[in-house]
Structure 1
Amino acid sequence: MKRATIKDVAEAAGVSRAAVSKVLRNAYGLSDDMRTRVEAAMTALNYRPQTAARGLRGRTYTLGVVLPDMRNPFFPDIIDGVISTLRSSSYEPLIGFRPTAEATEKHAIDTMLDHKIDGFLMVAPRLEESYLTTVATSVPTVMIGRHDRDCGYDTVNNDDRAGARLAVEHLISLGHRDIAYFGLEPGSAAPNNSTTLRLVGYREAMTAHGLADSISVFEGTHFRGEHYDEEVARRILTRERRPTAVFCWTDLVAFTLMAEALRLGLRIPEDLSVIGYDNSRLAALPQLSLTSVDQSGHRLGSEAMKLLIERIEGRREERHFVLPPRLDVKGSTGPAPAPG
């Protein structure tokens, strides 16, 4: 079957080829009627712009989305936000991720650059700011999970320090004093990564409530295999003075901790309260019912796409969008157990 061309679409819609091109670019100044006719013609003809040809004209209408991995249950929420925003545009996402725990995202980024993408959305990349700035000088770029400033790219984030304080203050209100933080070792995270700021918020809240001497930090990693976090969880739960509550830097880490608590015969929340961060969809499952800080992954992805398209359309000044966190209290937190 002959592939439909832009000329075929224009004839079917009763408009000029220039009008079809404007619809493809999502340009301003088009009437709703013209846009509807062109889109209907493209659907009827199964028209897909050729990537190579679009690249020769200056755009490919593809956007690179780079993720640290594919296992985190929070990332689909971000992707949902990306797709919902792009649905009204001519852009398509191309998704890549870090191939191994020891690798970085550079391979995925370089591959996408070879495909002449029009822009990048990167989620918590474990890369030097100088490298990311270099990438952003050639391709419009937006970050989620990095709180960099004066870097040449936009950022969209949750207020991670405030979210951590919400979590700790909720536990303190339930009578907990021995509250541990299960985070990520510095070598696994960028200096301005979300986990770094969540640790700051944890320390701030503990200190503000006179609990500085009870600060207890445990660090997971991306480098020592998928079972290392299980070993860290076991250390937390079998120490001589076990904490009565643990604030975990992600829901995924919280699930690991809860599974280890179950293996050790600990009851949640009677023996141990657990709070995660992300409020991923899995957190709402009745068998988990994880209290978690909601950072609205869908909106993070949506706002990031809006900023990225603005960048592609010519905006040069940096913008940094911060969403307020919200604590979703469920069944994994309860009053501190009685001493002894």
Structure 2
Amino acid sequence: MSVTLQDVARLAGVSTKTVSNVVHDFPRVRAETRRRVQWAIEELGYRPNLSARGLRSGRTGVIELSVPELRQSYFAELADEVIRAAEQRGLGVLVEQTGGDRQREIDVVTRRRPYLTDGLLYAPERLGTEDKDLLTTDFPSVLLGERIFGGPTDHVTMHNTSAARAAVEHLLEVGRRRIAVIGAHPDGQVRERASDLRVAGYREALESAGLTVDPDLIRVAAPWFQWNGAEAVRELLAARVPFDGLFCLNDGLALGALRELAAAGVRVPDDVAVIGVDNIDESRFSVPSLTTVDAGRAEIARIAVDLLVERIAEHGAGPGDRRPPRLIKPPFRIVRRESTGFPETSD
């Protein structure tokens, strides 16, 4: 026989309503009572009947995360962080991979491919600010990334421009003056993409230091995988453009760049100092270990899940009872490692 709510209430010496309040994480439960109920739940191995709860409440206890590609380490690690944050809220996560396909992204945000979920976290790659009207849906949603600004949903992203500027300033601080950047978008148009925002930060740092921006040092690489980072470095070396610093717009590009520099006999950091962005797990284990910008991935996931839970709670309320859309950017930090001349730390 499965353990019931009544069994937990009997063991804890409380009402079934109190047990229900604890299971649903309602705040108005005394700390001592909450501890007693949680002890009883663990002691009996009680597991809520999510199907029955969903039928009663209209909720499933599952949220959806939509990302372009899990092959990109950043999105795989972001998904891991979202799952961890959701578990703390008693939620499951359905992960949808769009492959960066525009129509699939439209299908996700307009709910043309409906799943039995309570809310959506989405990181589009092909949609832009011009598509923000697609987001005017009553379905609880939170936007991740930098492709759409000024939309009708909560938005959690990183400080792309200022983080990029800080990365280049770090290279300047260690004495580099001919700093190349790889990861620029091939169409050359300035939009609200991560690549454009980070290249803007690169330019700002150089100009603030009184250095001229050399177009030959700005290299296209897309998408941001290791092999494209390696290819960009091969082209840079073949062009015989002198450089002593390399800013890679993500860690995947940087790892490919490190491999190609080593193959060409270029010493890192002696000849060229290298920095990336994202602080993915692999960055600690490259040789040399990769200096990078930690843009707050874990905090982005936690905040996004918290905001989505709030929006789910508001679902069905009138417009006047809902919070206005919020834009949140967690702080970032430079993680100094061997690729810019610092000893490996236990970060």
Tell me if both proteins adopt one fold, taking TM over 0.5 as the criterion: yes
Q: How does 1:90-239 map to 2 (within 5 A)?
A: 90-99=90-99, 104-105=104-105, 114-123=114-123, 125-129=125-129, 134-135=134-135, 137-146=137-146, 148-185=148-185, 191-215=191-215, 216-222=217-223, 227-239=227-239
Aligned partner of 2:271 in structure 1 is 271
Q: CA deviation at 1:228?
A: 4.1
Alignment equivalent of 2:325, drawn from 312, 318, 321? 318
Aligned mates of 2:33, 2:13 — CA distance in 1: 9
Identity %: 29
Q: CA deviation at 1:235?
A: 0.7
Which piece of structure 1 moves more, 266-275 or 282-291?
282-291
Q: CA deviation at 1:29?
A: 1.3
- CA displacement, residues 247-270 of structure 1 (integer Å, 9 cap, x when unaligned): 011111100111111222221112
Residues 30/112 of structure 1: CA separation in 2 closer, same or farther (3 Å cut): farther
CA RMSD of aligned residues (A): 3.4
- CA displacement, residues 51-110 of structure 1 (integer Å, 9 cap, x when unaligned): 475055221111112222223333455345434433442222222223478985456668
Which piece of structure 1 moves more, 72-81 or 137-146?
72-81
Report if aligned partners of 1:61, 1:117 keep a CA contact under 8 Å in 2. Answer: yes
Aligned partner of 1:22 in structure 2 is 21
Residues 150/18 of structure 1: CA separation in 2 closer, same or farther (3 Å cut): farther
- CA displacement, residues 190-240 of structure 1 (integer Å, 9 cap, x when unaligned): 9433322111111111222232342432122239x9744432231123222
Report if aligned partners of 1:126, 1:188 keep a CA contact under 8 Å in 2. Answer: no
Normalised to the residue count of structure 1, the TM-score between the two structures is 0.82
Does residue 330 in structure 1 map to residue 331 in structure 2? no
Report if aligned partners of 1:189, 1:195 keep a CA contact under 8 Å in 2. Answer: no
Aligned partner of 1:47 in structure 2 is 47
Aligned mates of 1:91, 1:29 — CA distance in 2: 20
Aligned mates of 1:237, 1:58 — CA distance in 2: 59
Aligned mates of 2:104, 2:212 — CA distance in 1: 35
Which piece of structure 1 moves more, 248-257 or 212-221?
212-221
Structure 1 alignment gaps of length 5 or more? 336-340
Report if aligned partners of 1:161, 1:200 keep a CA contact under 8 Å in 2. Answer: yes
Report if aligned partners of 2:128, 2:148 keep a CA contact under 8 Å in 1. Answer: no
Aligned mates of 2:184, 2:49 — CA distance in 1: 43
- CA displacement, residues 154-204 of structure 1 (integer Å, 9 cap, x when unaligned): 122221111111111222233322211112426699943332211111111
Q: CA deviation at 1:243?
A: 2.1
Q: How does 1:255-294 map to 2 (within 5 A)?
A: 255-285=255-285, 287-294=287-294
Report if aligned partners of 1:124, 1:193 keep a CA contact under 8 Å in 2. Answer: no
Normalised to the residue count of structure 2, the TM-score between the two structures is 0.81
2:157 partner SS: strand
Aligned partner of 2:31 in structure 1 is 32
Residues 152/80 of structure 1: CA separation in 2 closer, same or farther (3 Å cut): same
> Number of residue pairs matched?
333
Q: CA deviation at 1:37?
A: 4.3
2:270 partner SS: coil
2:121 partner SS: strand
1:93 partner SS: strand
Residues 111/143 of structure 1: CA separation in 2 closer, same or farther (3 Å cut): closer
Report if aligned partners of 2:100, 2:125 keep a CA contact under 8 Å in 1. Answer: no
Aligned mates of 2:188, 2:210 — CA distance in 1: 30
Higher relative contact order (CA 8 A, sep 6+): 1
Residues 178/160 of structure 1: CA separation in 2 closer, same or farther (3 Å cut): same
Structure 2 alignment gaps of length 5 or more? 315-321, 343-347
